[in-house]
Amino acid sequence: MHSLPTIAFAAFVAAPPLVAQAPSIRKDPPQERAPASPVKPVLALGDAGMARAALARTKPKAAAAILLGVEWLVAHQNKDGRWDSDGFVAHDGDSPSGGPGNPTQDVAVTGLAVLALAREGRAPADDPRREPLLRAVHWLVEQQEDNGRLGPATVHDFVYGHAIGAFALCAAVAATDSDEARGAAQNALAHLEAHRNPFGVWRYQPRDNDNDSSVTTWATMALLAGAEVGIAPPARALQQVATWFDLVTDEGGRAGYTKRGEASSRQVRTAGQFPPDRGEAMTAAALWCRSALGQNATGNPVIAAGAKLLLGKPPRWDPASGDVDYCYWLFGTEAMRRLGGADRDAWNDELLAAILPGQRTDATAAGSWDPVDPWGGDGGRLYSTALAVMALQGLYALNDTSKADAEPR
């Protein structure tokens, strides 16, 4: 089989459910909440709409695009709280927007939609995002097994959906302070740690001594998001993440997928259409993780070198050439968001020039983005829109989470 994809949305592989399972984890909410991590925040939400209002003063088109994207996502949520990868067009009436995804990816796309909504800020009772967020949380909890896993282990890359779902539950806690989300998040993070290789990081199967930078990025973000809402991550896991990216990053700053120098993976059917050398997705992933863990270019020159690689392959809206890569754009924007300075500003300018023209303005697709990147065929329009919104949200000012915000409420 060809090397497996960079993000959650791989083609369906008929594989039996995993035999090895993590130990059973109780679903009742935790009684104690650990102090928040001191690292730079992953969520950095603030009050509802404040970050977007601040962005609107300098980049009004970006702020407007975010709002339209969030509204499109809310309009395409099922009543049960799920975002349906292939069935979302039922909300379009007689004018379907098109772009269905793989029906096995509902946990992952629901998680991405939750992240896009939650990153807009805390959602008080009168916020139109609150009810959709709480319904999505409830649906995710209904998918959670007794061992903490979100969704079934019936596809080979189920851990992607689980990690994204865990990340989303933590974001929902930050946005709504939902006890249901908090209990599910703690259990999901515990399952994630049970999946991690004891002396390494993450990949598809639990504890099989196989690791990759892509799964590890989503798992790391879930753990750090948990820290922001008072669920302390295992220190050993974060140490292993830092060690992993040292192992797979070469002297020029390029991070590999499973080893040094290895490009991002592609599915066999799309490898020709989306050449992996068009971007630096794994380098961006490494930079996001490193910067979120508190590393910076001053203390680690490899980070500055990696940033230059990203600037050498900036976002471009050219679907015909295979340049569109929403995942790369999100990873790169979040990395640059923390590195700051002229490199961040240059990246953000390129991102806006690429991503704003791609937002649809017609009929029922208005506010969404077409699934025209390497994983769009599996993630569909929901995936594309959620990731595009999240990339634009990376332009928000990065505010440290205050100690008061980290206290149990």
pLDDT on residue 268:
62
pLDDT-derived band of residue 9, with 50, 70 and 90 as boundaries? very low
Query: Which letter does DSSP use for residue 20 in this model?
Result: -
pLDDT at residue 11 above 60?
Answer: no
Q: How confident is the model at residue 39 (pLDDT cuts 50, 70, 90)?
A: low
What is the reported pLDDT for 335? 96
Q: Work out the widest C-alpha separation in the chain, in whole angstroms.
A: 56
- pLDDT given for residue 390 in this prediction: 98
Lowest mean pLDDT: which of 4-18, 145-159, 284-298, 390-404?
A: 4-18
Query: What's the mean pLDDT in 113-137?
Result: 97
Q: Which of 7-11, 168-172, 324-328 has the lowest mean pLDDT?
A: 7-11
Q: What is the mean pLDDT of the chain?
A: 87
Q: How far apart are CA 114 and CA 136, in angstroms?
A: 7
pLDDT at 10: 34
Res. 400 pLDDT band, cuts 50 70 90: very low
pTM: 0.88
Q: Which residues pair with 150 in a beta bridge?
A: 144
Three-state secondary structure call for residue 150? strand
Q: How far is CA 202 from CA 188, 231, 292, in A?
A: 15, 20, 18
Are 196 and 3 in contact by the 8 Å Cβ rule? The answer is: no
Cβ proximity of 302 and 266 under 8 Å: no
Q: Is the pLDDT of residue 107 over 80?
A: yes
Report residue 299's pLDDT band, with 50, 70 and 90 as the boundaries: confident
Whole-number pLDDT of residue 126:
94
CB atoms closer than 10 angstroms to residue 285: 31
List CB contacts of 341: < 8 A, sequence separation 6 or more.
Answer: none
| Of 71, 73, 103, 98, the residue nearest 86 (C-alpha) | 103
Is the model's pLDDT at 96 over the cut of 70?
yes
Instruction: Give the pLDDT of residue 80.
Output: 98
pLDDT at 271: 64
The band of 17, judged by pLDDT with boundaries at 50, 70 and 90, is: very low
pLDDT at 14: 26
Residue 211 confidence class, pLDDT cut points 50, 70, 90 = very high
Task: Say if CB 116 and CB 69 are below 8 A apart.
Answer: yes
Structure confidence at residue 218 (pLDDT): 98
Question: In angstroms, what CA-CA distances link 69 with 78, 132, 294, 358, 395?
Answer: 17, 15, 30, 12, 15
Q: Which residue has the higher pLDDT, 10 or 119?
A: 119
pLDDT of residue 221: 97
When pLDDT is cut at 50, 70 and 90, the band that residue 269 belongs to is confident
- Taking the C-alpha atoms of residue 181 and residue 171, their distance in angstroms, rounded to an integer, is 9
Instruction: Identify whether the C-beta of residue 129 lies closer than 8 Å to the C-beta of residue 120.
Output: yes
Residues of the chain with pLDDT > 70: what percent?
87
Higher pLDDT, 404 or 186: 186
**pLDDT for residue 15:** 29
Residue 73 has pLDDT above 90, yes or no: yes
Please name which of 36, 46, 65 lies closest in space to residue 356, comparing C-alpha atoms.
Answer: 65
Structure confidence at residue 408 (pLDDT) = 29
pLDDT value at 409 more than 60: no
> With 50 as the cut, is the pLDDT of residue 136 above it?
yes
- For the segment 192-221, the average pLDDT, to the nearest whole number, is 96
Mean pLDDT, to the nearest integer, of 49-67?
96
pLDDT at 117 over 60: yes
- pLDDT at residue number 298: 83
* CA pair distance 183, 229, nearest whole angstrom: 12
Residue 304 has pLDDT above 90, yes or no: yes
Q: All domains of the chain, ordered by start, with CATH?
A: 50-402 (1.50.10.20)
Average pLDDT over residues 79-91: 97
